[in-house]
Amino acid sequence: MKQSQILVLGGKGKTGSRVAERLRNLGYANIRIGSRSAMPAFDWENQDSWSEVVKDVETICIGNSKSRN
């Protein structure tokens, strides 16, 4: 049985990296990290970057706790 792809947005930050680590510890192997520095890059401000990052993803976790002004 194929395990679903999980995307952790903000996965290189403090919260997101902990979420990704916890998912791996629970046995989830197909974890994709979404961030501006990941490849492919994800940027909230640039909707053109979204489609490649979410391709084939079934679940998205948002690990960014930073608020915007």
- Model pLDDT, residue 54: 93
63/26 Cα distance (integer angstroms): 17
Give me the half-sphere count of Cα atoms (radius 13 Å) on the Cβ side of residue 9. 15
Per-residue pLDDT of the chain (69 residues; tens, 9 = 90+): 457 899 999 988 889 999 999 999 999 999 999 999 999 899 989 999 999 999 999 999 887 655 555
Three-state DSSP state, 47: helix
Rounded to a whole number of angstroms, the distance between the first and last alpha carbons of the chain is: 44
Residue spans of the domains in the chain: they are 6-62
Three-state DSSP state, 46: coil
- Model pLDDT, residue 1: 46
